[in-house]
């Protein structure tokens, strides 16, 4: 009978940290989808709720840059930088477009970053 050594098994990233990653990846995708939808509506002469498609494109690239920083910070295990970038996502979502989806995702992600499994991973 073979015995299993458990000392070599390293715990993976916690599910809540994976949720933060997935939520912010979806936010980047949503930013570009909203840009394409609003650009299409604007080119057809339809109303875009007073939001210029170029503003949404800028916001999508900001989300992308912040997401890249979050990924790099997770890999370097720097929780305070992750939280700072999530706070930047929240602030940008409020100030630039007042994006309810961005505000919701940033708030949930920021809250998840204070959970015990996530803080233990970065410890």
Whole-structure pTM value: 0.84
- Cβ count within 10 A of residue 104: 14
What pLDDT is recorded for position 99? Answer: 87
| Residues in CB range of 25: below 8 A, 6 or more apart | 67
The token duo for 87 is 């706070």
Task: Work out the average pLDDT over 93-103.
Answer: 90
The per-residue pLDDT for 76 is 93
70 pLDDT tier (thresholds 50, 70, 90): very high
Quick one: which of 118, 122, 119 has its CA closest to 14? 118
Q: What is the mean pLDDT of the chain?
A: 89
Burial class of 92 by CB neighbour count within 10 A (0 to 12, 13 to 18, 19+): buried
Question: Which DSSP helix (H) or strand (E) runs through 113?
Answer: none
Q: Is the predicted pLDDT of residue 94 greater than 70, yes or no? A: yes
């Amino acid at each position: 009978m073979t015995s299993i050594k458990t000392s070599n098994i390293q715990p993976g990233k916690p599910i809540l940290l994976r949720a933060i990653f997935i939520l912010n990846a979806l936010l980047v995708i949503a930013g570009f989808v909203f840009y394409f939808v609003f650009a299409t509506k604007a080119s057809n002469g339809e109303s875009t709720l007073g939001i210029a498609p170029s503003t949404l494109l800028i916001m999508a690239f900001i989300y992308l840059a912040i997401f890249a920083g979050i990924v790099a910070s997770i890999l370097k295990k720097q929780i305070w930088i992750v939280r700072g970038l999530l706070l930047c996502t929240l602030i940008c979502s409020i100030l630039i477009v007042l994006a309810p989806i961005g505000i919701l995702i940033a708030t949930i992600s920021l809250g998840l970053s204070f959970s015990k499994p996530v803080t233990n991973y970065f410890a």
